[in-house]
Amino acid sequence: MTRGPLAGILVADFSRVLAGPSASMWLADLGARVIQVERPGTGDDTRAFGPPWAGSSSAYFESANRLKESIALDLANPYDAALARTLAARADVVLENFRAGSLERFGLDPEAVRRTNPRAVYCSITGFGSGAGAHLPGYDFLVQAVGGLMSITGDADGEPRKVGVALVDLLAAKDAVIGILAALRHRDATGEGQHVEVDLLSSLLASLANQASSFLATGDAPRSMGNQHPSIAPYETLRAADGMLAVAVGSDRQFRALAVALGVPALAADARFASNGDRVGHRAALIAGLEEALARIPVDDAVERMLAAGVPAGRVADIPSAFALATSLGLEPLVDVGEGHPAQVRHPVRYSAFTPETPTAPPALDAHGEALRRWLGAPDERAVHNGE
């Protein structure tokens, strides 16, 4: 097996909760060595985000912290802060999600780190940037709310809803990985490190895709539409005899095939539904006609008919069913990290030239502290006193 492309890269991870830890975990999957700096006594906030509990902490913590080493350092303690600065001076990547400017007093801000380690890629993840929004707290739920995502999520006649997972944190994590990899490539070419900044609000806005483009093109605010698509029909959930299914008709040909598969070819001949634009304009009548036909057909039968006709469709499933589907398709969605820990969702990308690192369990708090302190070495008294 060829080692991952980030073998030999050292990541000093000062981040907490989900966005930063997810980013560093994916870097570890690619071969980087990740040293996770945690608060003494409590560790990462997510260690207490339970129930449910798993391994040495919570199932939440387990989701973002495999393949890491843990050291507990109190940055308010001069000795520990000096160790942290030594770690940052040795690192290829420094990752943090503190409020902008709060690491300056420990000598761990971007400028201080790059004075001692000019090749470092320093990545900051904030909620609203390091300028006018630096004082605002960066929580996924808050950003979903003020960033507009909740306004387009939920039923058309209901209150705004958050997505069922901390999606903005994960989008920002992926942006952080992209930024770090680009900066490492730049360093390889020039020898120069740099400061990479990612903020949750920008990651969300960049992911609004057609909804953002619709606003920019028209000036009108998109609205929540439940499971319906603002520009395509039928592209939504439909009720069948014994449950719900999702159908994603992306062309007129697929719509004609859908109508035939459900035994209602007259719908395809109806002028109201001749084109996608027509179907969007007459959505209520369209859905009424489709669900009238589906009322006599069980979900699995309807899905089978649609797939046979080349119409994208599937049962609305729960998470256990989703893992079962991925397993049945040979996608191998899970990896084992050892006894006493639940399985992990595998690294989502497959590579033809190498295999992601064999995962190890998320560490107990300060599990590697003793060895790492020896590796970092005791700082001299002058460095501790002067904060160098």
pLDDT digit string (tens) for the chain, length 388 residues: 457 999 999 999 999 999 999 999 999 999 999 999 999 999 999 999 999 998 778 999 999 999 999 999 999 999 999 999 999 999 999 999 998 889 999 999 999 999 999 999 999 999 999 999 999 989 999 999 999 999 999 999 999 999 999 999 999 999 999 999 999 999 999 999 999 999 999 999 999 999 999 999 999 999 999 999 999 999 999 999 999 999 999 999 999 999 999 999 999 999 999 999 999 999 999 999 999 999 999 999 999 999 999 999 999 999 999 999 999 999 999 999 988 899 999 999 999 999 999 999 999 999 999 999 999 996 554 455 444 5
Tell me how far apart the alpha carbons of residues 330 and 50 are, in angstroms, rounded to a whole number: 32
Which member of 13, 44, 169, 366 is catalytic? 169
Tell me how far apart the alpha carbons of residues 24 and 9 are, in angstroms, rounded to a whole number: 11
Enter the pTM of the model.
0.92
Cα separation values, 303 from 230, 262, 310, 325, 348, Å: 23, 10, 10, 14, 26
Cα separation values, 294 from 259, 270, 297, Å: 11, 18, 5
Is 169 a catalytic site residue? Answer: yes
Domains detected in the chain: 10-207+335-386 (3.40.50.10540), 235-320 (3.30.1540.10)
The token duo for 84 is 């942290």
